[in-house]
Amino acid sequence: MDGLKVIRSATANAPAPATPSDLLINRELSQLAFNRRVLELAEDESIPLLERLRFLCISSTNLDEFFEIRVAGLKQQVALGIGTLSPDGLSPQEQLTQIYTHAHALVDDQYRVLNEILIPALEAEDIRFVRRTEWNEAQAHWVKNYFLRELLPVLSPLGLDPSHPFPRILNKSLNFVVTLEGKDAFGRDSGVALVQAPRSLPRLIRLPERISRKGYHFVFLSSILHTHVGELFPGMQVLGCAQFRATRNSDLFVAEEEIDDLLIALQGELPSRNYGDAVRLEVADNCSERATRFLLQKFKLQPEDLYRVNGPVNLNRLLAMHEFVDRSDLKYRSFIPALPKSLTSRANLFERIAKDDILLHHPYQSFTPVIEFIRQAALDPNVLAIKQTLYRTDTKSELVELLVAAARAGKEVTVVIELRARFDEEANIKLANRLQDAGAHVLYGVLDHKTHAKLALVVRREKNRLKRYVHLGTGNYHAGTARAYTDFGLLTCDRIIGEDVHKIFQQLTGLGRVSRLRKLMQSPFSLHKEILGKIEREIEHAANGKTGHIMARMNALIESQVIRTLYRASQAGVKVELIVRGICGLRPGIPGVSDNITVRSVMGRFLEHARVFYFHNGGEYEVYCSSADWMPRNFFRRVEVCFPIEDDRLRERVLKESLLYFLADNTQAWELQPDGTYKRVRPGNRKPRSAQAELLRELAGA
Which residues belong to the active site? 452
Residue 66: CA count within 13 A, CB half-sphere: 25
Reference 411, options 431, 439, 432; nearest CA is 439
Reference 417, options 405, 108, 235, 397; nearest CA is 397
SS3 assignment, position 186? coil
Reference 583, options 53, 91, 69; nearest CA is 69
Alpha-carbon gap, residue 566 to 203, rounded angstroms: 48
Kindly give the residue spans of alpha helices, DSSP state H, lying in 257-340. Answer: 262-269, 289-299, 320-324
The region that residue 519 occupies, defined by phi over 0 for left and psi between -120 and 50 for alpha, beta otherwise, is: alpha
Alpha-carbon gap, residue 250 to 267, rounded angstroms: 14
| Residue 489 · residue 610 · CB < 8 Å | no
Alpha-carbon gap, residue 582 to 584, rounded angstroms: 6
Give the chain's largest Cα–Cα span.
90
Alpha-carbon gap, residue 393 to 262, rounded angstroms: 19
SS3 assignment, position 570? helix
| Residue 227 · residue 132 · CB < 8 Å | yes
Q: Exposure of 639 by Cβ count < 10 A (0-12 exposed, 13-18 middle, 19+ buried)?
A: buried
Alpha-carbon gap, residue 190 to 238, rounded angstroms: 13
Q: What value does the CA radius of gyration of the chain take, rounded to a whole number of Å?
A: 28
Pair type for strands 465-473 and 412-417: unpaired
Reference 658, options 687, 686, 695; nearest CA is 695
Alpha-carbon gap, residue 688 to 692, rounded angstroms: 12
Residue 543: CA count within 13 A, CB half-sphere: 9
Q: Exposure of 401 by Cβ count < 10 A (0-12 exposed, 13-18 middle, 19+ buried)?
A: middle
Pair type for strands 521-523 and 611-615: unpaired
Alpha-carbon gap, residue 91 to 19, rounded angstroms: 13
